[in-house]
Structure 1
Amino acid sequence: MQCVPFKLVSPNSRTYSKAYDRHKIRVSSKQRALNVLLVVGDCVLVGLQPILVYMSKVDGKFNFSPLSVNFLIEAAKVLFAIVMLLFQARHQKVGEKPLLSISTFVQAARNNVLLAVPALLYAINNYLKFIMQLYFNPATVKMLSNLKVLVIAVLLKFIMRRRFSIIQWEALALLLIGISVNQLRSLPEGTSAMGLPVATGAYIYTLIFVTVPSMASVFNEYAMKSQYDTSIYLQNVFLYGYGAIFNFLAILGTVVVKGPSSFNILEGHSKATMLLIFNNAAQGILSSFFFKYADTILKKYSSTVATIFTGIASAALFGHTLTINFMLGISIVFISMHQFFSPLAKVKDEQQNGITELRDVPEKLKYVLSLSLSHTHTHTLTPSGQSVRNSFG
């Protein structure tokens, strides 16, 4: 009789995703269709963002403060989350814990305090989005943002202990190759900004632009799933509330430096900036659903699809040229996506390798099982008919 080895898993290992794992098993076809709609909506919104930012510039500059736009975006998200929370509370079933009670709100605020970390990182990243527009055209900004996928994968591996197969790592490497192909000679020679050569300034901002939001996404997913039973709208109230506070503090800092005249939050805004605010608010709300019910990798790959839309739209609206490098880069990116999500690329379940994990078994029972396994004995017959005692453990 073959003995199946047991792998005893710490009760704290991957506890953040237990509820999420149970949820994935019960995913219905309607929910999968909803996920597809979320991906399509995310592609459209992400693709429109750099175009709206480009349209908001006047003579290559912004007449408004990017901090004011970010504050209005976070305020719009908070307003939407509150409205949806009220709607959800009105449709609660009998016996469920009331969402609008003070005790529920205070307890949820304590449990979700970690959301302040991604909120701060997002506040920094949202400002960098405007700075990046000074260096690159919209399609290039979208391609550069895809570099986040590799950084996110590394963070997921070490922070959330997510496993990736070799094929998936190769797919991520292929994604970087596609981005690099697109970036060949994408900047005009001799261009400069802020007194720095474009290569130096662009690479510095690119490094920050890639690292900060990657950390924000991973911490956001971790915080969302670690409190999986908390309403997503209640979590959004905290997340975007923190974001609004951080952006408002940045505005106050600007007032201290530049004077009270810079406090006008609505100064310099146009129809394009209003559309930009609405677009970013909707994009952030969709992102929270990705982090709560899907994962960060899917979110970033869905944003990658928006590259085609951004490139074609920027070429049609602003006359940007779609080079052969861009088309080749897009092709490689889509090959990478297909390879990463292919069934052959998925990590095999540990049970297929002859290992049974005991995750929800009490510690005392695990201890008894480990002792019994270490003292398990079998008897085999030798050719002479004698019984030989073999011990395992």
Structure 2
Amino acid sequence: MIRFRTLIIYCCLQPILVFMSKVDGKFQFSPISVNFLTEVAKVIFAIVMLVIQSRKQKAGEKPLLARSTLIQAARNNVLLAVPALLYAINNYLKFIMQLYFNPSTVKMLSNLKVLVIAVLLKFIMRRRFSVIQWEALALLLIGISINQLRTAPAGDTAFGLPITAIAYIYTLIFVTVPSLASVYNEYAMKSQDTSIYLQNLFLYGYGAIFNFLGILGTALFQGPENFNILQGHSRATMFLICNNAAQGILSSFFFKYADTILKKYSSTVATIFTGLASAAFLGHTLTINFLLGISVVFISMHQFFSPIAKVKDDKPGELLELQDTQNHRESLIP
């Protein structure tokens, strides 16, 4: 429960810190550099935790930091490179989305991932959902649609396309890519009986590599000055790096020991706090669309996790008793 509440706080702060890091509506730094430094911070944390965990090992246990252990774990968890790449793309999109939407809207749009994740879990991991749960997801779409009415200013363009069109394209990618990453990450982490800190080490290591390649590509195409990963950073970006690192670390525990839906539910709960914080500290107006939309979203989430909405694998008691009676009667017939 403590990790759940803490993750809500980090999810709430993330879009606000991204917004605060803008200067005159633009970023003075490379978003890829923020993502790279975030991955480096998470790698350092994973190494520190591995060292602490290795010192607490009992006699006879296989050393966590032994060369053979690391090589074997690296081979077993090579699939983590896939979600690491997808997360690298998604983390860049988080900054792009802030150019078109305010923090509370970005947080609301991220709730669309719950529906996509549910569909992916059904077809990839064969997870079952009840009719009530699918209806709750439909309510989620309705709530998000209410919130998005008249969000983008009319007449503006970007890359030669209306801003609404390019914003919706980014939204589609923003929703689909991390959903694939989350489901694949849960599958990869649960499929191997490896220490979560070892898995995090490889996941974050791959993420750092992909983001560093992005920095190199930017430097090659836009000039060597872009290779300075500390250029344009401020106190807000430093807080953002720490917040993103903490959020990513906590998320890994949800993927390993809980599930992706619960993790996304924490992000949904954070939506209302993001909206309130944006209104209090950034001067954003809480529109009636947002209030109605967030109300519908929270109703859908309550309905989705309600005990009566859960899929029941066992047959009802009355049906079992009837079946037992029929079987008993058939056994008496010669």
User: If the TM-score is normalised by the length of the shorter chain, which range does it land in?
Assistant: over 0.9
Distance (whole Å) between structure 2 residues aligned to residue 291 and residue 379 of structure 1: 49
The answer to whether the aligner puts 1:236 opposite 2:206 as a matched pair is no
Counting only pairs closer than 5 Å after superposition, residues 72-221 of structure 1 correspond to structure 2 as 72-221=37-186
Inter-partner Cα distance in structure 2 for 1:73 and 1:283: 10
Give the AA of the match of 2:39. Answer: E
Q: Are the equivalent residues in 2 in contact too, given 1:135–1:193 (CA < 8 A)?
A: no
Q: Cα 1:317–1:195, aligned 2, differ >3 Å: closer, same or farther?
A: farther
Instruction: In structure 2, give the amino acid aligned to 1:135.
Output: Y
Q: How many residues align?
A: 324
**Which residue pairs with 2:288 in the alignment?**
324
By how many angstroms is 1:39 displaced?
Answer: 1.5
Greater CA radius of gyration, 1 or 2? 1
Residue 300 of structure 2: aligned partner: 336
Q: Deviations over 1:157-185 (max 9, x none)?
A: 11111111111111111111111111112
Aligned pair partner of 1:314 in 273, 278, 282: 278
**Which residue of structure 2 aligns with residue 8 of structure 1?**
none
Say if 2:260 is the partner of 1:296.
Answer: yes
Residue 213 of structure 1 aligns to which amino acid in structure 2? P
CA shift in 2, pair 1:235/1:352, >3 Å: farther
Give the superposition deviation at 1:56.
0.5
1:254 to 215, 218, 236: 218
1:66 aligned residue: 31
Q: Which runs of 5+ in 1 are unaligned?
A: 1-35, 356-377, 382-386, 388-393
Q: Kindly indicate whether the alpha-carbon contact (under 8 Å) linking 1:125 and 1:209 is maintained by their aligned counterparts in 2.
A: yes
1:316 Cα deviation after fit: 1.3
How many Å apart are 1:334 and its aligned residue? 1.2
**In 1: Cα distance, 2:136 partner to 2:102 partner:** 26
Q: CA deviation at 1:247?
A: 0.4
* CA distance in 1: counterparts of 2:141 and 2:9, whole angstroms: 23
Rounded Cα–Cα distance in structure 2 between residues aligned with 1:351 and 1:87: 47
How do 1:7-26 residues align onto structure 2 when only pairs under 5 Å count? none
CA distance in structure 1 between the partners assigned to 2:135 and 2:82 by the alignment:
31
Displacement of 1:351: 6.0
Please state how far the C-alpha of 1:191 moved relative to its aligned partner. Answer: 3.1
Distance of 1:54 and 1:259 partners within structure 2: 26
1:266 is paired with a residue whose SS is coil
Match of 2:325 in 1: none
What does the per-residue CA deviation read over 1:183-236, in whole Å, with 9 as the maximum and x for residues that have no partner?
A: 112222323334321111011101100000000000000001001x21100000
Q: How does 1:264-303 map to 2 (within 5 A)?
A: 264-303=228-267
Alignment CA distance shift 1:58-1:380 (3 Å): same
- More displaced 10-residue stretch of structure 1: 71-80 or 333-342: 333-342
Written as runs of structure 1 = structure 2, the 5 A alignment for 1:351-362 is none
Asked if residue 223 in structure 1 is aligned to residue 176 in structure 2, the reply is: no
Q: Which amino acid aligns with 1:117?
A: V
Rounded Cα–Cα distance in structure 2 between residues aligned with 1:88 and 1:177:
46
Secondary structure, counterpart of 2:126 in structure 1 = coil
Q: Determine if contact 1:116/1:242 at 8 Å carries over to the other structure.
A: yes
Partner Cα separation in structure 1 for residue 187 and residue 216 of structure 2: 30
Residues 296-318 of structure 1 show CA distances to partners (whole Å, capped at 9, x for unaligned) of 00011110011111111111122
Q: Distance in 1 between matches of 2:271 and 2:160?
A: 30
1:179 and 1:255 mapped to 2: Cα distance? 38
Distance 1:379 1:339, change over 3 A: closer
Q: Which residue of 2 aligns with 1:363?
A: none
Letter matched to residue 130 of structure 1? F
d(CA) in 1 for partners of 2:7 and 2:158? 31
Percent of paired sites with the same residue: 78
| 1: CA distance, partners of 2:50 / 2:97 | 35
What CA deviation, in whole Å up to 9, does each residue of 1:131-161 have, x standing for no partner? 1011101110000111011000000011111
1:380 deviates by 4.7
SS at match of 1:99: coil
Mind listing any 5+ residue stretches in structure 2 that lack a counterpart? 321-329
Q: List per-residue Cα deviations over 1:24-55 (Å, max 9, x = no partner).
A: xxxxxxxxxxxx11111111111111111111
How much does 1:332 deviate? 1.0
TM-score w.r.t. length of structure 1:
0.80
Aligned to 1:274, what secondary structure does the other structure show? Answer: helix
What's the offset of the Cα at 1:352? 5.4
Counterpart secondary structure, 1:121: helix
Q: In structure 1, how many angstroms separate the alpha carbons of the residues matched to 2:69 and 2:212?
A: 27
How big is the shift at 1:271?
0.1
Deviation by residue 1:317-364 (Cα, 9 ceiling, x = unmatched) = 221110111111111111111111111111112465989xxxxxxxxx
